[in-house]
Amino acid sequence: MSSNWTKEIRAIFMKELKSEWRSPHAFLTGILFGIISIVAISIAAFNIHVSPTLAAGLLWTIFLFTVVGTLGRVMIAEEESGTADLLRLVSRPHSVYWGKQLFNFIQTLAYAVLLTALYILFNGVHIAFFGLMVASLFAGSVALSGAVTFSGALAARAANRQALAASLALPLMIPVATWGETSLRVAFGEGFYDAGRLAALGLFCYGVVESALGPYLYAALWKK
């Protein structure tokens, strides 16, 4: 990657980071949504033994809805504030996409770490393979951020953009949820290690393919 690309991607990423730093409402909304979901699940499952399969499934459901509800906004906000046209004039589509996806990835990873820690703390989930859990969360964050950035880009210029971004993202996340749940279930002690490792690898590969495809498709829509 040439230094121009790196500079452009870094500029977009820093722009997102600074605007989020100034008013971190979106990030905090996501965190609040995740915490409320975890508390609600913990209350509902009070005095009940939650199996690793169910625990992994619930945790992934919380991730999906937290991410879908908050992160599509990164693309949508540009259209709402009227800065998208300016961005189209001064930068290239691939660098805009990469910068925004990188920002979404960092946020998704932060959600994943924080919400998993809270979930494990509240529900006393046993961790059998810590490394696999970390790999699953990392690969899941790559794949989730790819899906949510792309669907945000597609919905950004529509009238019903927020709801549309969520409805477009969820079908793209089905393999993510399946592989994520499998790898996390094994990390929580149910199933074979090899199956969990393969699921985490599948998740990572899906995320990479999605992240590679996204900028090209975004570039095709750039000036439409």
Partner 1 sequence: MNKDSQDSNRSAFAAFSSSLSDLGNLISKGCDALDLPFRSPPLALAARIVFFVFVSFTIVRSFTVGDSPAFQRPELARIFFWHFPCPMLATICLLQGTWWSLRYLRSDSLLFDIKALAVLELGFIFSLLTMATGIVFSQAEWGAWWQWDPRQTSFLLVLLIYGAYFILRGSYREPERKASFSSAYILAAILPALFLIYIFPYLPQIAQVSLHPTGSILSGQIKGGYAQVIWMTLIVTSLFSIWVFRLKVNAAQIEHDLYELS
What is the binding site for partner 1 (CB under 8 A)?
150, 154-155, 157-160, 164, 167-168, 170-175, 178, 191, 195, 206, 209-210, 213-214, 217-218, 220-221, 224
When the beta carbons of 23 and 160 are compared against partner 1, the nearer one is: 160
Rounded to a whole number of angstroms, the minimum distance from the CB of residue 122 to partner 1 is 28
Rounded to a whole number of angstroms, the minimum distance from the CB of residue 204 to partner 1 is 14
When the beta carbons of 26 and 205 are compared against partner 1, the nearer one is: 205
CA distance 143 to 182: 15
Rounded to a whole number of angstroms, the minimum distance from the CB of residue 125 to partner 1 is 21
When the beta carbons of 70 and 151 are compared against partner 1, the nearer one is: 151
Rounded to a whole number of angstroms, the minimum distance from the CB of residue 37 to partner 1 is 22
When the beta carbons of 117 and 195 are compared against partner 1, the nearer one is: 195
Cβ atoms of 188 and 127 closer than 8 Å: yes
Rounded to a whole number of angstroms, the minimum distance from the CB of residue 77 to partner 1 is 18
DSSP string, 73-139: HHHHHHHHHT-HHHHHHHS-HHHHHHHHHHHHHHHHHHHHHHHHHHHHHHHT---S-HHHHHHHHHH
Cα–Cα distance list, 17 to 3, 27, 115 (Å)? 20, 11, 21
Rounded to a whole number of angstroms, the minimum distance from the CB of residue 28 to partner 1 is 29
When the beta carbons of 28 and 220 are compared against partner 1, the nearer one is: 220
Of residues 94, 78, 56, the one with CA closest to residue 165:
78
Cβ atoms of 214 and 93 closer than 8 Å: no
When the beta carbons of 31 and 153 are compared against partner 1, the nearer one is: 153
